[in-house]
Chains A and B, each alone.
Chain A
Amino acid sequence: MKQWWWKFLAVGLVLIASIAALRTPLAPAVVHASEGALKPGPNTVTVLGYATRFTQESPRVFVENGGQFIAADQVEVLDDRRITARFLVPEGLREDMSDLLVSTTTQGTMRLFDAFYNPEKGSGALEGVTEGPPRTERTDFAFPNRNILYESIRNLHFHVPMWFTMMLLQTIALVFSISVLGSGNPLHDRGALAAVHVSLLFAGMGLLTGSLWARATWGGWWTSDAKLNGAAVTVLIYLAYLVLRGSVNDPAKRARLAAIYNVFAYVLMLLFIMALPRMTASLHPGSGGNPAFSQYDLDDSLRPVFYAAVLGWMGIGTWLLNLQYRLARIEIAHDHAHHR
């Protein structure tokens, strides 16, 4: 029992994180406005919400430009997700882009960033400006809602932990390999192999979850992207590692050659993965100005679930490695006994 607690913990964390990742509702949000630009004068806009209940509220609609608010003078609720609002837009708004705000009584104030383009820039409106809506904080536990991700934001808790776990296992393989170079210990060679095997399992799951997400979000199973190239290179390196092992028969020589390749490839891969996103544009969340985790968690609802998932999956990866390592130890002991 004493040595089992972390296995229970890992399984528990993965279960809790997965249930939370799937069951937590998405926060209500404004996701679309029917007009792309607001000209001075009257403008009518249809606003689309997601997970909203406009019919049970009396929503107020605002446009914000450079800290100045314009309230809609006519608001008509069409259904739970749609409102039509009319703005009398004054002249001289100072910023290029305006935000759209919908203020509700029970669901707080929702903001659609950069909803409208402002074609005629000035130095600030002089009239028609009102107080902004109250800054209400939501207190319920919900995932942030962005109009490019919607429900697919849940994949954060499945996709990213796979890669983190893979990197942990590959780092363990590196440590084993360095030890093999120093000592030639056959058990450590088998440890490196076990870590690579388990890391490839996690890489496979990372590719699967990523591919499904990419299909839903980008429209293709695979795109040419810096992060994806990094993932492909990583998988190819460790498959090549297995091929190298397969082509050498002498165990001591195999251990040494595999260790050399592992150290060489790991360091170059690390440099590549650090340098590549700086070289090329990327569509992947977290690079190229795309929103990532840190810009989302305004209400810190993603963090606890994500950390639990990462720790849990890392624990399960370590457990798998532990099993394989123990199996290798038995096999080596068995071989010794056999030869004697």
Chain B
Amino acid sequence: MRSEILHLLRLEVALDLRQRAAWGGMLLYVVSAVYVCHLTMKDALGTGTWNALFWIILLFAAFNALARSFLREDQGRQLYLYTLAHPRSVVLARALYNAVTMVVLSLLSLLFYALFLGNDALAQADLPQFITAVVLGGIGFAAVLTLIAALAARAGNGIGLMAILGFPIVLPMLLAVMRASQLALSGAAWAETGMYFLGIAALDVVTVALAWLLFPYLWRD
């Protein structure tokens, strides 16, 4: 099973290297969103607003980036993949790869965001904690949205349906990471934010376990 997952991960990387425009599209989406915020919110942002805006941008970037994770193969290739690998390996590999994608995308978003909208909010922050929150948030979005992306792709109704299905489920994750990152921005101690981080990590594990359980039913046709 492990070698199967490794193979599938290699496949994902190969696909991404072949379709470089996809990554370009994801980054451009984030940069555009950040730039729109830069243009519309010229006045100095308070820490709370800065944090909220960042997470909203990241949330929409996550929907945009993860929607394609089950859309990039056509029906025929999916069927072929299905004959080769166990569906549970497929979903674990996808979730893992999506998590890596989201971590990279979150950190790049943070970079652009701090560049364009100022980093005054980070002045008092405990930076390692804030970055932990961003990384965990990215992984959390990936965990929740992997199965939702598969469902939406299966229903044949891409990103629109994914937003409708995913939004209420991702909301708890969003509230938790926003709160944790707000604490990190105000320079709280690890003891305080650590509870949130543990909670988010536990939620990730449960989510991936559910996806692992349910995905075989989704796959079969």
Q: Which residues of A contact B175 (CB under 8 A)?
A: 229, 276, 279-280
B45 within 8 A of A: no
Interchain CA distance A244-B154 in the complex, whole Å? 11
Q: Mark B191-221, 1 if CB is under 8 A from A, else 0.
A: 0000010010001001100110010011001
A248 within 8 A of B: yes
Q: Which residues of A contact B147 (CB under 8 A)?
A: 260, 264
Interface pair B151/A247, CB less than 8 Å apart: no
Q: Which of A210-260 contact B (CB under 8 A)?
A: 229, 233, 236-237, 240, 243-244, 247-248, 253, 256-257, 259-260
Interface pair B165/A263, CB less than 8 Å apart: no
B179 within 8 A of A: yes
- Least CB distance from A178 to B in Å reads 10
With contacts A268-B144, A275-B199 taken as known, whether A233 is within 8 angstroms of B168 at the C-beta atoms is yes
Interface pair B176/A279, CB less than 8 Å apart: yes
Interface pair B172/A256, CB less than 8 Å apart: no
B60 within 8 A of A: no
A265 within 8 A of B: yes
| Most chain B CB atoms below 10 A, which of A263, A264, A267 | A264
Interchain CA distance A270-B169 in the complex, whole Å? 11
Interface pair A233/B171, CB less than 8 Å apart: yes
Q: Which of B146-165 contact A (CB under 8 A)?
A: 147-148, 151, 154-157, 161, 164-165
Interchain CA distance A300-B19 in the complex, whole Å? 68
Q: Which residues of B contact A117 (CB under 8 A)?
A: none
Q: Which residues of A contact B29 (CB under 8 A)?
A: none
Q: Which residues of B contact A237 (CB under 8 A)?
A: 168-169
Q: Which residues of A contact B203 (CB under 8 A)?
A: 268, 271, 275
- Least CB distance from A85 to B in Å reads 46
Interchain CA distance A92-B147 in the complex, whole Å? 66
Q: Is the interface of A mostly helix, strand, loop or mixed?
A: helix
Which residue of the partner chain A has the closest CB to B199? A275
Interchain CA distance A149-B164 in the complex, whole Å? 37
- Least CB distance from A203 to B in Å reads 13
Interface pair A267/B206, CB less than 8 Å apart: yes
- Least CB distance from A272 to B in Å reads 4
A164 within 8 A of B: no
Q: Which residues of B contact A236 (CB under 8 A)?
A: 167-168, 171
Interface pair B165/A256, CB less than 8 Å apart: no
Interface pair B206/A244, CB less than 8 Å apart: no
Q: Which residues of B contact A229 (CB under 8 A)?
A: 171, 175
Interface pair B172/A268, CB less than 8 Å apart: yes
A261 within 8 A of B: yes
Residues of A near any B CB (own CB < 8 A): 181, 229, 233, 236-237, 240, 243-244, 247-248, 253, 256-257, 259-261, 263-265, 267-269, 271-272, 275-276, 279-280
Would you list the 8 A-B pairs with minimal beta carbon distance, nearest first? A236-B168, A272-B172, A237-B168, A247-B157, A260-B214, A233-B168, A240-B164, A240-B165
Q: What would 13 more interface pairs be, CB under 8 Å, given A261-B151, A279-B175?
A: A229-B175, A236-B167, A240-B167, A243-B164, A244-B151, A244-B165, A247-B156, A268-B172, A268-B210, A271-B206, A275-B172, A275-B199, A276-B172
Residues of B near any A CB (own CB < 8 A): 144, 147-148, 151, 154-157, 161, 164-165, 167-169, 171-172, 175-176, 179, 196, 199, 203, 206-207, 210-211, 214, 217-218, 221
A-B contact pairs, 25 of them (CB 8 A): A233-B171, A236-B168, A237-B168, A237-B169, A240-B165, A243-B164, A243-B165, A244-B151, A248-B156, A253-B154, A256-B217, A257-B151, A257-B155, A260-B147, A260-B218, A261-B165, A264-B169, A265-B168, A268-B169, A268-B207, A269-B169, A271-B172, A272-B171, A275-B176, A276-B172
